[in-house]
Structure 1
Amino acid sequence: MRRTIIKESVRGIIEYVLKEGSIDDRYLGRTRAIEGTLAHQKLQKLNENIYENYNKEVQLEEEFIIDDIGLIVEGRADGIIIDGDKVYIEEIKSTYRDLINIDEDYNELHWAQGKFYAYIYALKNKLNEIYVRLSYFQIETEEVKSFDKKFQIKELEEFIYNILSEYKKMIILSLELKEERDESIKELKFPFEKYRKGQKKLAVTCYNTIKERRILFAQAPTGIGKTISTLFPAVKSLGEGKGSRIMYLTAKTITRTVAEDTVETLKEKGLVCRNITLTAKEKICFKEKVKCNPDYCEYALNYYDKINEVIYFLLKKENNFSRTNIEKYAKEYKVCPFELSLDLSLWCDLIICDYNYAFDPKARLKRFFEEDINSNILLVDEGHNLINRAREMFSTELYKSKILSGSKIVKGRARKLYKSLKDINSFFIELRRELQEKEINSLYKKEEYKELYKLLSRFLKECDEYLIIAQNTEGYEEIKDLYFDIRSFISISELYDDNYVTLIEQERSDIKIKLFCINPSKNLGEIVRKSYSSIIFSATLTPLSYYINLLGGDIDSYRLRLPSPFSKENLRVYKNPLNMRYKYRDKNIDKLCEIIKNFTNEEIGNYMIFFPSYEYLKKVYLRYVELYGEERTIVQGEALTEAEKEGFLSNFYEGANISAFCVIGGMFSEGIDLPGKKLIGSIVIGVGFPKISNETNIIMDYFKDEGFDYAYVYPGINKVMQAIGRVIRREEDKGRVLLIDDRYFNRKYIDLLPSDWQGME
């Protein structure tokens, strides 16, 4: 009798067994074929016109019996062609490389994937022979080069079972770890004696959302315990076979630390699982420069030859892969810590990482968010941060100065490459001329510059060969960086639709072109809606409809708004109607200083005073010092290091009685914890409006009737609520807040602020 069934992807098995050699980020051409959705679609469309019997994106799966384990291997074939009595399984790979440089033996892993799909298809359809077609699509020329190989079913069977034999010990270990995990989850109880107010409701709602494979947007104020209230039901769901892994996504280091501590709390109560925290390559790299190649880095040398044994050993020995542990084991086994963490994550139950590993098309973990996305339970912490982060992820820009600099490097060395850069530079000159003729510094269009894409694609084609032959020459790294910038630009252009505009800006003597993603909901929805279940939560998701509309939700998404678990009397909120609109700010500086001084004198303690900009902060602070002296005042500097940030926060201790002049939306207005008497009050000046910019105004234009609210009001009120949220952190905390702006007396703002504050004085 079979014990259990586990699932694996074709690609995951193939890469684990067959990948070998060293990590090498030097441009080698053959390693840089990129998978472009648009290219796949074009070739699939062409095949639909050529072949009467053609199917694209065909899901295939087969169960293999390994000892007494049922292994379901699944994947998606790019295309299946039935031409007469011949059946072809087609694997499509897109590239910028000249097809003359691609031969039949270009990449063994590509053939291996095709052979795996071919075997599954042949088995299901009782075929004795089948063809694998490997097609390379040249993106710039749209030319195709294909290689066909015929295989007998017995030949494929031998290949597949050799692969599975190599993979067998990982299958057995994976099963053992899963059984141990699930047994521990059955016995796992909520780790605290009782639920806080609202906490059980959040936990139960999360559990039911996962059970129903739905999306939840939850506003849960500070103090409810959002991390445990989302992680606990997710872990319980995992143990019941709902999803295959939990992806805990964060925007900041501090929230990653809270998630790690919460997992540790569950483990102390009996949970057995493997959790990992992913750290950016630049932060975890052991070398002075991030250069991943075996000539420079000993941790890259023979990485793929060593890594399978390392992973097997670590999974048997360890279950907490924190940054500290990853670094320790990477040094011990002399393997790259970043790649080790990525490879280990494939075997972990809970992955804590930044948003970009899930959503950013340039950094997304393809194994989790393209091939096996419907197995993910997504927990998106501090979801209010995701809108701006998503706009950054799905936007891209190019500068004329970089194009010109690149052309100077290759001039006299690579004639065709120089010509392609010169043509791109000429295009930028035309853009500048257009701005000059209209006597403006910026413009945006709802159309794409398709002619620019052609020029950029031509550069990529010419650069492909240059990067292979010109290694170690002067300016090589700059050209390589430009290559990947342009490749990223082209990649994002594939997403361009009605949610985008093309923005041209003149910055001094430079010209920038940007594909600006105004509304990221469609791109985010590809991840949020396709996952097993998605929970997006924050203390500040007001109004919920705004976040649902922009973060990939829909009309069927669940929504939950919970009141503060703390007594209303703990936070006293006051308002002052001083006009803080931009044109009146400077006139009201003296009055503002007086209000600040009086409020902080009414009840002595530590205060944070949040200003709408650094510029205004400096003006007010200089005048405040003239009027009242600088004793017991500190000022937030611009672009603080982590050490400077910690130094600033060290000033907040009971009895310090300081007034800290800060900027709203900055590093001290969210994500910091100053409980008790470390912070007894906040003053918020203005309504938190984002800085006026071309992009903010584009957002306003795009959303029309709701534009001003979407561009200014809602992002502003979020920053206000985050700043106020610094004051009450624990049940016993008490504090006071002053909101300075006449708009706080407007019905729109009253309705946006928490109902707990409706008795504001």
Structure 2
Amino acid sequence: MSNKIVIKESVRGIIEYILRTGSIDDRFVGSTRAVEGTIAHQKLQSNNEKIYDNYEKEVRLSEEFKIEEVTLIVDGRADGIIIEDNNVYIEEIKSTMKPLILIDEDYNLLHWAQAKFYAYIYAFQNNMSEINVRLSYFNIETEEVKSFNKKFSFVELKNYVSSIIEEYKKWVILKSNLIEDRNKSITTLKFPFEKYRLGQRELAKACFNTIREKSVLFAQAPTGIGKTISTIFPAVKALGENRGERIVYLTAKTITRTVAEDAVKRLKDKGLGCRNITLTAKDKICFKEKSICNPENCEYALNYYDKVNNSIYNMLKEEDNFTRETIEDYARKEGLCPFELSLDLSLWCDVIICDYNYAFDPRAKLKRFFEDDVDKNILLVDEGHNLVDRSRSMYSAEIYKEKILSASKAVKGKAPNLYKCLNSINKYLIELRKELQEVEVSSIYKKEQYKDLTKLLRIFISECDEYLVKAVNTEGYEEIRDLYFEIRSFIAISEIYSEKEYVTLVELNKNDVKVKLFCVNPSKNLSKIIQEAHSTTIFSATLTPIKYYIDVLGGDDKSYRMKLPSPFKKENLKVYSNPLNMRFSQRDNNIDKLCQLINRFKEEEVGNYMVFLPSYQYLDKLYSRYCELYGDKNTICQNEVLREEERVEFLNNFKEDSNILAFCVIGGVFSEGIDLPGKRLIGCIIVGVGFPRISNEGDIIRNYYEDNGFDYAYIYPGINKIMQAAGRVIRTEEDKGRILLIDDRYSTIKYKSLLPTEWEL
């Protein structure tokens, strides 16, 4: 074995891996704990800074351990170090929803273990014979603190840490063998195609250099370049040079996950030895009808932590491609939760393919990768244009009056205190409704939060904790539990709320009232992940204009940027425009003219076409009128709600020898991410400029960005939809196709500057 193998692990990761026991039990933990835990740390640390003269927070501690020929570097951040009266205290902070009276010194031995490991490192490096450990519990609701102090001799701590390292030894040796085999295979790994396409080598080199320089790259790479392999291949080569420790390939859609899996398989066929995993959403992979993760409701949660390590060890010996099917097979055989098994397996994988949520959503992100070890990640963000809307949603939260009222009815007469809480929240929302009705508006927004509302919500959470323990299996229980998690999510977002990036939006819909904490500018939240990773490459066929995406997605002036031309012959795509007025006020007046243009264009060359309309409402009007004028033969129309099988059936109409005219909505499921090569689709007709629907949120974005506001809120998201829809036509080097853009705005300087230079209208 090479003596150059160095393995880095976090203190928390080793402790949890070795000492976890028992069952999975997420009752009342919810999806906001990561956010709340961070907030608890910050509040207690802030208090400590005021109390102690000599206090440091988030202190990085690191130590090396030799295991055979492997160097194990264990590091992490101690929450706080207090020096007072010649005594040193290593403080570990834990957030909790439990009343502190129920927490004693031995509440959780893993918490002590983590703190003792930090204390050992500090004592060893500072030549101390003894040191204090303080374990502090912070109640999120009451903001009360309960602390326990213990003094340890250095010898005690050394023996304790040695026992932990000894138990972790077999895992270190396994991991070092896997890394050595992987790196050896990467040394001789070649690009898996005979030659690079136009622009492909440039993208691959830019991606590799970004990783080497630990930087951020925004890349617009048109359809046909082969973006997936051009980012995964250089990232794999970088892993072989010990740059970063894992590749995290982030996607917005299932189809792009499949493309990433295929790219990894292609590299494996060329000799790559690595472990890859695709993470599947909990509700999709769960074996039970409902994802209720506790030993009373699920046999796969029972004694999970007692069984999982041996299973993972065997899986790593036998497999290297952890698909959903593979994980499900092992999970059933071993009696393990498939979702948790996939997360634990991912710790041992070189390539992780997953949804954006796992990296960016504060209520769902993987703490093991995106808090403790974020600097080890090589992030590849596919279809990066989708991250704008997704991130705004991830960092926003809302509550509805109707849900509050319904929940209060469910507990009336059964839980008086809880009913009282819900009634108070309902009354507050009624007052908000009255305020809007009095000034005859349907919405308002402001920079500040409604802090009195947040207080009422916190009281509900505190009261609901007791109810959820006592009322299991009673009528209305699930409704209250769902509301509990929604309100906890709202409170969690309220804690990261900033008047610079957020507004509070109130909207009326008949008698219902919605209060939304709306993240107008997600860049600050995203940048924590994007900038702190080993490197990040954000790529898409449509990042136009690129400065807009750098501004919104957490880039900065140091971020690299590149824009590659299409690899296809420009004469293979004919682009036409017609100046028919498609502004909202004129759409209905021009329906007959529009039908005539559509019919004429598709008659000019026989084949399959898609027509993209601005909204479902306009789609229905236009399709009805088109069928009146020209008949419905060989026409199909997209429904507003589509099941997966209906989506597949719709696309199956596009055959090489058919003559289909499909009416769709711009920005819908058929204007992005579908692949109809050859003559399965020879043209598309795009009506309008793709503006998102005028909305309160859109207008808030417009006001926020001031001079660039209208562009950021409407024009740039609209042009992105146009580019995505147009991208359906030419999918391979042999494809030929036609596009018709119908709107007089395409003849303006503004829009001409945003369209691809190779398009000659």
Q: Tell me the TM-score normalized by structure 1.
A: 0.98
Q: C-alpha root-mean-square deviation of aligned residues, in Å?
A: 1.4
Q: Is the 8 A contact 2:249 2:351 kept in 1?
A: yes
Q: Is the 8 A contact 1:33 1:95 kept in 2?
A: no
Match of 1:664 among 660, 663, 666: 666
In structure 2, what is the equivalent of residue 91 of structure 1? Answer: 92
- Give, in angstroms, the shift of residue 285 of structure 1: 1.0
Local SS of the residue matching 1:624: helix
Local SS of the residue matching 1:43: helix
Local SS of the residue matching 1:677: helix
Local SS of the residue matching 2:723: helix
Q: Is the 8 A contact 1:674 1:727 kept in 2?
A: yes
In structure 2, what is the equivalent of residue 274 of structure 1? Answer: 275
Match of 1:534 among 530, 533, 536: 536
CA distance in 2, matches of 1:130, 1:238: 39
CA distance in 1, matches of 2:467, 2:136: 24
One-letter amino acid of the structure 2 residue matched with residue 136 of structure 1: Y
Deviations along 1:102-128, whole A, 9 cap, x unmatched? 221222211111111111111111112
Are residue 197 (structure 1) and residue 198 (structure 2) matched?
yes
Q: Is the 8 A contact 2:34 2:363 kept in 1?
A: no
Q: Which runs of 4+ in 1 moved over 4 A?
A: 31-35
- Give, in angstroms, the shift of residue 681 of structure 1: 0.2
CA distance in 1, matches of 2:542, 2:27: 44
Are residue 743 (structure 1) and residue 742 (structure 2) matched?
no
In structure 2, what is the equivalent of residue 393 of structure 1? Answer: 394
In structure 1, what is the equivalent of residue 76 of structure 2? Answer: 75
- Give, in angstroms, the shift of residue 294 of structure 1: 2.1
In structure 1, what is the equivalent of residue 687 of structure 2? Answer: 685
Task: Give the 5 Å matches for 1:423-502.
Answer: 423-497=424-498, 498-502=500-504
- Give, in angstroms, the shift of residue 168 of structure 1: 1.1
Local SS of the residue matching 1:74: strand
Q: Is the 8 A contact 2:615 2:666 kept in 1?
A: yes
In structure 2, what is the equivalent of residue 579 of structure 1? Answer: 581
Q: Say which is worse superposed, 79-88 or 462-471, in terms of deviation.
A: 462-471
One-letter amino acid of the structure 1 residue matched with residue 716 of structure 2: Y
In structure 1, what is the equivalent of residue 112 of structure 2? Answer: 111
Deviations along 1:269-318, whole A, 9 cap, x unmatched? 00000000000011111122212222332221211110000000001111
Q: Is the 8 A contact 2:36 2:492 kept in 1?
A: no
Q: Say which is worse superposed, 84-93 or 560-569, in terms of deviation.
A: 84-93
- Give, in angstroms, the shift of residue 25 of structure 1: 2.7
In structure 2, what is the equivalent of residue 704 of structure 1? Answer: 706
Local SS of the residue matching 2:65: strand
Local SS of the residue matching 2:496: coil
In structure 2, what is the equivalent of residue 262 of structure 1? Answer: 263
Local SS of the residue matching 1:541: coil
Deviations along 1:169-213, whole A, 9 cap, x unmatched? 111100000000000001001111111011111111111111111
Match of 1:503 among 505, 517, 526: 505
In structure 1, what is the equivalent of residue 160 of structure 2? Answer: 159
CA distance in 2, matches of 1:357, 1:41: 23
Q: Is the 8 A contact 1:33 1:97 kept in 2?
A: no
Q: Is the 8 A contact 1:245 1:376 kept in 2?
A: yes
One-letter amino acid of the structure 1 residue matched with residue 10 of structure 2: S
Task: Give the 5 Å matches for 1:506-655.
Answer: 506-655=508-657
- Give, in angstroms, the shift of residue 408 of structure 1: 2.6
In structure 1, what is the equivalent of residue 364 of structure 2? Answer: 363
Q: Is the 8 A contact 1:36 1:491 kept in 2?
A: no
Are residue 226 (structure 1) and residue 227 (structure 2) matched?
yes
Local SS of the residue matching 2:497: coil
- Give, in angstroms, the shift of residue 28 of structure 1: 8.1
CA distance in 1, matches of 2:715, 2:364: 31
Task: Give the 5 Å matches for 1:173-184.
Answer: 173-184=174-185
One-letter amino acid of the structure 1 residue matched with residue 539 of structure 2: F
Local SS of the residue matching 1:713: helix
Deviations along 1:641-690, whole A, 9 cap, x unmatched? 11100000000001210100000000000100000000000000000000
Q: Is the 8 A contact 1:25 1:293 kept in 2?
A: yes
One-letter amino acid of the structure 1 residue matched with residue 565 of structure 2: P
- Give, in angstroms, the shift of residue 587 of structure 1: 0.6
Local SS of the residue matching 1:171: helix
- Give, in angstroms, the shift of residue 457 of structure 1: 1.6
CA distance in 2, matches of 1:455, 1:153: 48
In structure 2, what is the equivalent of residue 718 of structure 1? Answer: 720
Q: Tell me the TM-score normalized by structure 2.
A: 0.98
CA distance in 1, matches of 2:35, 2:551: 32
Q: Say which is worse superposed, 503-512 or 341-350, in terms of deviation.
A: 503-512
In structure 2, what is the equivalent of residue 150 of structure 1? Answer: 151
CA distance in 1, matches of 2:119, 2:180: 32
Q: Is the 8 A contact 1:501 1:517 kept in 2?
A: yes
In structure 1, what is the equivalent of residue 58 of structure 2? Answer: 57
One-letter amino acid of the structure 2 residue matched with residue 347 of structure 1: W
In structure 1, what is the equivalent of residue 315 of structure 2? Answer: 314
Q: Is the 8 A contact 1:28 1:468 kept in 2?
A: no
Task: Give the 5 Å matches for 1:329-348.
Answer: 329-348=330-349
CA distance in 2, matches of 1:372, 1:140: 28
One-letter amino acid of the structure 2 residue matched with residue 558 of structure 1: Y
- Give, in angstroms, the shift of residue 95 of structure 1: 2.4
CA distance in 1, matches of 2:191, 2:509: 55
Deviations along 1:123-150, whole A, 9 cap, x unmatched? 1111121111111112232221111111
CA distance in 1, matches of 2:457, 2:81: 32
Q: Is the 8 A contact 1:279 1:353 kept in 2?
A: yes
1:541–1:33 Cα change, 3 Å: closer
Local SS of the residue matching 2:218: strand
CA distance in 2, matches of 1:320, 1:748: 48
Gaps of 5+ in 2: none
CA distance in 2, matches of 1:360, 1:697: 24
Local SS of the residue matching 1:151: strand
Q: Is the 8 A contact 2:35 2:362 kept in 1?
A: no
% same residue: 68
Question: Number of residue pairs matched?
Answer: 758
CA distance in 1, matches of 2:584, 2:732: 36
- Give, in angstroms, the shift of residue 466 of structure 1: 2.3
CA distance in 1, matches of 2:537, 2:289: 39
Gaps of 5+ in 1: none
1:35–1:76 Cα change, 3 Å: farther
Q: Say which is worse superposed, 350-359 or 284-293, in terms of deviation.
A: 284-293
- Give, in angstroms, the shift of residue 508 of structure 1: 1.9
One-letter amino acid of the structure 1 residue matched with residue 562 of structure 2: L
CA distance in 1, matches of 2:323, 2:8: 26
CA distance in 2, matches of 1:237, 1:530: 18
One-letter amino acid of the structure 2 residue matched with residue 378 of structure 1: L
Q: Is the 8 A contact 1:610 1:685 kept in 2?
A: yes
CA distance in 2, matches of 1:107, 1:701: 49
Deviations along 1:433-487, whole A, 9 cap, x unmatched? 1111111111101111122222222222222222222222222222222221111
Q: Is the 8 A contact 1:28 1:467 kept in 2?
A: no
Q: Is the 8 A contact 1:34 1:93 kept in 2?
A: no
Q: Say which is worse superposed, 4-13 or 600-609, in terms of deviation.
A: 4-13
Q: Is the 8 A contact 2:401 2:514 kept in 1?
A: yes
One-letter amino acid of the structure 2 residue matched with residue 733 of structure 1: D
In structure 1, what is the equivalent of residue 291 of structure 2? Answer: 290
CA distance in 1, matches of 2:141, 2:420: 16
Local SS of the residue matching 2:503: strand
One-letter amino acid of the structure 2 residue matched with residue 206 of structure 1: C
Local SS of the residue matching 1:756: coil
One-letter amino acid of the structure 2 residue matched with residue 65 of structure 1: K
